[in-house]
């Protein structure tokens, strides 16, 4: 095994390191961080504005044709700047509504 692969293998805890259970070091070390990174990724995906390319937190809910979108203030249909796909869909749909904040 070359030195770089050996370093990564040892540093991540994938190597047994003298312990009988070879996966213990990985899951108790860097492997446990995978759950936190995944949870943060799902939370970010859920909270971000639904307009394409917008990375702002969506605090407003807009229902367009039975689908509820989470939008930021900039892409809100009523007081936004008039850009974005949700804004355009809202103004072309006859059944679009803005949900009140709980």
Tens of pLDDT, residues 21-71:
566 777 777 778 888 899 999 998 889 988 888 888 888 888 888 888 888
Spatial distance between the Cα atoms of 36 and 9, rounded to a whole number of angstroms: 21
Domain count for the chain, please give it: 2
40 plus 77 within the same structural domain: no
Spatial distance between the Cα atoms of 99 and 102, rounded to a whole number of angstroms: 9
pLDDT digits (tens, 9 = 90+) for 10-21: 777 666 555 555
Instruction: Give the pLDDT confidence score for residue 42 in this predicted structure.
Output: 93
Spatial distance between the Cα atoms of 101 and 76, rounded to a whole number of angstroms: 13
54 plus 39 within the same structural domain: no
Instruction: Give the pLDDT confidence score for residue 101 in this predicted structure.
Output: 59
71 plus 29 within the same structural domain: no
pLDDT digits (tens, 9 = 90+) for 72-97: 888 888 777 777 777 788 778 877 77
80 plus 64 within the same structural domain: yes
Bridge partners, residue 69, by sequence: 62
Tell me which of 29, 44, 59 is where a domain ends: 44
């Amino acid at each position: 095994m070359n030195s770089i692969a050996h370093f990564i293998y040892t540093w991540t805890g994938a190597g047994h390191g003298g312990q009988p259970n070879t996966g213990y070091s990985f899951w108790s070390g860097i492997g446990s961080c995978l759950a936190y990174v995944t949870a943060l990724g799902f939370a970010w995906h859920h909270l971000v504005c639904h307009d394409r390319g917008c990375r702002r937190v969506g605090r407003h809910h807009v229902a367009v044709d039975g689908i509820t979108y989470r939008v930021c203030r900039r892409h809100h249909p009523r007081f936004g700047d008039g850009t974005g796909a949700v804004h355009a869909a809202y103004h072309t749909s006859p059944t679009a509504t803005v949900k009140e904040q709980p």
